[in-house]
Amino acid sequence: MAQYETHTPAQLPERIRHYIDGEFVDSADGATFDVLNPVTNETYIQASAGKTADIDRAVAVAQRTFREGTWSQSLPRQRSKVLHRIADLVESRGDRLAELESFDTGLPITQALGQARRAAENFRFFADLIVAQADDTYKVPGRQINYVNRKPIGVAGLITPWNTPFMLESWKLGPALATGNSVVLKPAEFTPLSAGLWAGIFEEAGLPRGVFNLVNGIGEEAGDALVKHPEVPLISFTGESSTGQLIFANSAPHLKGLSMELGGKSPAIVFADADLEAAVNATIFGVFSLNGERCTAGSRILVERSVYDEFVERYAAQAERVKVGLPHEPETEVGALVHPEHFDKVMSYVEKGKSEGRLVAGGRRPEGYETGNFIAPTVFADVAPEASIFQEEIFGPVVAITAFDTEAEALELANNTKYGLAAYVWTNDLKRSHNFAQAVEAGMVWLNSNNVRDLRTPFGGVKASGLGHEGGYRSIDFYTDQQAVHINL
């Protein structure tokens, strides 16, 4: 029996099903898989386990609608109107969405609500962008006019992870649909609940039937079938770097277009001249918000030696004050990790960390939470760069702090990992901050700032953190073909 008073949302579906050609359907072979409540680790629902036959059906429907052209050949203004309606509906259902998301993922409810707002904003952003889209024309006076024809590609395969699932789905669905593609979405198997909401939202907003299709299932089955389907010319994937490598290899025979947003081990670099209070607050938020299950988490903090002891002391004290609690309670700041398998993985790093660094906060279950996937915010100081907790993505509320003496050493430490997603730099030296940003191997850098996105800027990582960049017109580029047309004068 569960030890906690869990909050179960009203009106859960009887079963989580696929959505193909405008209808909720089961798998062709009737197979299902268990979905767990992260607070109790009890199965709370069954979800349809898609296989090749289900993917084949969804792709065929998506392809048919693409060819029919009701959506793919509609005017940008028409698509923009539908996308704005989607954004309105997501906004108006924010509370319900957050409730389901928090229940399924274990994310704190207030943060799940923030992610629901961001999902609406993603649609609104691409609704605006698509009508402002301008393509190039080139003239060679008296000889030629050359222009660009932009076309949707066809069926986009979208594969998403379990952290902030609804928001990350919107980050792919928004631009894929804005540009006129049809889609097949394969959400993460740990957290399939909220994806079903897209069906009703899209229907109500007026997206033509069959343009959006959803197949649930295990990555190695449903995800794999989508990646290997010859009629899916592009795959947008967010998930682990190792999965990205496999998808890259499986896409090679078809030379698919790939966009990959992968793992991270992002550094936050705190120089002695920084506003220490702001740096402590932001780096606490940077690794403990979203349960630490955040791709851009600042999970390595590098601190200049002259302020190191003070920083570690303040940081550990603040980490101890972070409120761990049940996901649905509004005061909760860290909820339950998504799944017992993930909990075990994070806990194994916590145990390793005890010999790799000096434990200054957490390192255990929080008091009163003897079952479920709860971990107290955990801080290790004096972590050597070769330590596994410095090198490997933990994806939980665990942070490694390391001292440095010079700017050159800080840069070397920052770049000393296979990943290159984000970096956060804290200094009041203007020149140093910009020079550091230029030199650090990261797709995104925040200077004296929390992780706040501007959707027009590139989003993506370097090294093992990704392939290609989305964000702004880059997303439009990924989801379209650009054809050059030449006219002789």
* Nearest distance in Å: CB 238, ligand NAD: 5
* Nearest distance in Å: CB 160, ligand NAD: 6
Residue placing its CB nearer to ligand NAD in the complex, 94 or 219: 219
- Nearest CA-CA partner of 102 in 46, 173, 164: 164
In whole angstroms, what is the distance from residue 105 CA to residue 96 CA? 14
Asked if 261 is part of the footprint of ligand NAD (rule: CB under 6 A), the reply reads yes
Asked if 100 is part of the footprint of ligand NAD (rule: CB under 6 A), the reply reads no
Restricting to residues 459-478, name those near ligand NAD by CB under 6 A: 461, 466
Return the range that interacts with ligand NAD (CB under 6 A); candidates 58-66, 127-135, 217-225, 481-489: 217-225
Among 38, 175, 239, 325, binds ligand NAD (CB under 6 A): 239
Sign of CA dihedral 394, 397, 403, 409: positive
Restricting to residues 422-461, name those near ligand NAD by CB under 6 A: 461
Cα 411 from chain centroid (whole Å): 26
Q: Which of 101, 169, 261, 293 is catalytic?
A: 261
Among 108, 175, 196, 223, binds ligand NAD (CB under 6 A): 223
Name the β-bridge partners of 262: none
Asked if 243 is part of the footprint of ligand NAD (rule: CB under 6 A), the reply reads yes
Residue placing its CB nearer to ligand NAD in the complex, 208 or 461: 461
Return the range that interacts with ligand NAD (CB under 6 A); candidates 25-33, 45-53, 119-127, 259-267: 259-267
Indicate the burial class of 379 (C-beta count within 10 angstroms; 0-12, 13-18, 19 or more): buried
Sign of CA dihedral 248, 250, 256, 258: negative
DSSP H/E element including 453: none
Return the range that interacts with ligand NAD (CB under 6 A); candidates 80-88, 123-131, 181-189, 348-356: 181-189
Instruction: Give 156's contacts (C-beta < 8 A, 6+ positions apart).
Output: 172, 176, 181, 182, 183, 184, 232, 234, 235, 236, 479
∠ CA 459-465-411 to the nearest 5 degrees? Answer: 95
Among 163, 291, 378, 480, binds ligand NAD (CB under 6 A): 163
Question: For residues 13 and 81, is the Cβ–Cβ distance under 8 A?
Answer: no
* Nearest distance in Å: CB 228, ligand NAD: 8
| 331 tagged catalytic | no
Cα 189 from chain centroid (whole Å): 15
For 148-209, the three-class secondary structure string (H helix, E strand, C coil) is EEEEECCEEEEECCCCCHHHHHHHHHHHHHHCCCEEEEECCCCCCCHHHHHHHHHHHHCCCC
* Nearest distance in Å: CB 221, ligand NAD: 9
Restricting to residues 276-305, name those near ligand NAD by CB under 6 A: 295
DSSP H/E element including 23: strand 23-25
Structure tokens at 172: 């792919």
Restricting to residues 40-99, name those near ligand NAD by CB under 6 A: none
Restricting to residues 356-395, name those near ligand NAD by CB under 6 A: 393, 395
Asked if 353 is part of the footprint of ligand NAD (rule: CB under 6 A), the reply reads no
What is the per-residue burial (b if ≥16 Cβ within 10 Å, else e) of 277-288?
eebbebbbbbbb
In whole angstroms, what is the distance from residue 412 CA to residue 100 CA? 42
* Nearest distance in Å: CB 261, ligand NAD: 3
In the β-sheet with 234-238, what is the strand arrangement from edge to edge? 23-25, 18-20, 212-214, 182-186, 155-159, 234-238, 257-261, 466-467
Residue placing its CB nearer to ligand NAD in the complex, 357 or 443: 443
* Nearest distance in Å: CB 146, ligand NAD: 35
Return the range that interacts with ligand NAD (CB under 6 A); candidates 72-80, 261-269, 318-326, 427-435: 261-269
Question: For residues 72 and 182, is the Cβ–Cβ distance under 8 A?
Answer: yes
Contacts with ligand NAD by CB under 6 A: the residue count is: 30
Asked if 160 is part of the footprint of ligand NAD (rule: CB under 6 A), the reply reads yes
SS3 at position 120? helix
Among 98, 287, 360, 421, binds ligand NAD (CB under 6 A): 421
Among 197, 227, 302, 381, binds ligand NAD (CB under 6 A): 227
Among 94, 264, 372, 471, binds ligand NAD (CB under 6 A): 264
Instruction: Give 283's contacts (C-beta < 8 A, 6+ positions apart).
Output: 268, 270, 298, 301, 315, 399, 424, 426
In whole angstroms, what is the distance from residue 221 CA to residue 51 CA? 6
* Nearest distance in Å: CB 148, ligand NAD: 28
Residue placing its CB nearer to ligand NAD in the complex, 224 or 304: 224
Among 263, 292, 325, 362, binds ligand NAD (CB under 6 A): 263
Residue placing its CB nearer to ligand NAD in the complex, 44 or 171: 171
SS3 at position 422? strand
Among 29, 42, 204, 220, binds ligand NAD (CB under 6 A): 220
Which ranges constitute the DSSP H helices of 5-75? 52-68
* Site for ligand NAD, rule CB under 6 A: 159-163, 168, 186, 188-189, 219-220, 223-224, 227, 238-240, 243, 246-247, 261-264, 295, 393, 395, 421, 461, 466
Active-site residue set: 261
